[in-house]
Amino acid sequence: MRAPSWAAEAAGCTAEGWSSVRDGVEARPTNDPVSESARALGAATSSTSGHRVPAIVLNRARYRDPTCRDPRSTTRARGSDLISRHSRPALSSPCPPSAGHPQRRCAERRTLCRLSRKDDALITATDLGHVRRCVELAREALDDGDEPFGSLLVSAAGEVLLEDRNRVRSADATRHPEIAIARWAAANLTAGARAESTVYTSGEHCPMCAAAHGWAGLGRIVYAASNEQLTGWLAEWSAPPPPVAPLPITRVVPGADVHGPVLEWAEELRSLHRARFDRDS
């Protein structure tokens, strides 16, 4: 029985190639489980419909005959090409950070290195003084039994408007200093003053704090240690990961003016987080 032209077209085959395809996948090795499955499906379909066109149409994406030409392709499929090219993920397709894609991680590390070199010139001596105070606040938090994070809000004129540290020991896991800064600024500063201010922090904002920063319309951010550094330390110590994905600030607030990390504080902050890990383990 000759199959109708629409079946050959649906299977992606030329008229010459259809004669070898319509009878199943005989070109495949007999010990190939893929071929055996295709034959079984073809036989089942043949017993009810009188021809095997549906089986070929259904299986075309995975079982390709060497003589078949995909209408969307400019090259013939190889006999060993059991999987359709169009079913394979493109190498350049985006991959979310949560998937742990090695190319994405390498790209983010290269970006981090570029930002670090750039920030050497953009972070001033005044900035370093404020970052130092954030590290002091982080140590105060650790000494009080809390997580070692501290932050400052500084006006455009250089005045320290607010300083705070982590207070999650109170059983409220949202009491991060950056949240306190965003709430205070929204209640006490004009939109213009918020946009011209700078938030300094010992650790890069978590996604929750970054979102609060963005919604409050706060300005520049300078942080000492990045989320990538912190997650690397935790992994090194086999500590459980945080419940929220450690995204970079700019993934949450794309237009944020962010500078960091300040590499000279890396060892100090690592020791603080190590002390907290040893205490809570």
Q: Find where tokens 């009491």 sit.
A: 175
pLDDT per residue as tens digits for the range 188-232 = 999 999 999 999 999 999 999 999 999 999 999 999 999 999 999
Q: What is the pLDDT of residues 83-110, one digit of tens each?
A: 333 333 333 333 444 444 445 444 444 4
CB atoms within 10 A of CB 68: 22
Please give the model's pTM, rounded to 2 decimal places: 0.59
Q: How far apart are CA 69 and CA 46, in angstroms?
A: 24
pLDDT of residue 25: 43
Cβ 169 vs Cβ 144: under 8 Å? yes
Average the pLDDT over 70-93 and give the result: 37
| pLDDT > 90 fraction of the chain, expressed in percent and rounded | 53
Site of tokens 């700078």: 198
Q: How confident is the model at residue 166 (pLDDT cuts 50, 70, 90)?
A: very high
Q: Which amino acid is at 62?
A: R
* Distance of alpha carbon 65 from alpha carbon 115, whole angstroms: 51
Gyration radius of the chain over CA positions: 30
- Decide: helix, strand or coil at residue 258: strand
pLDDT, tens only, 30-48: 454 444 544 544 444 444 4
Q: What are phi and psi of 179, to 5 degrees?
A: -70, -45
Residue pair 250/223 in contact by the 8 Å Cβ criterion: no
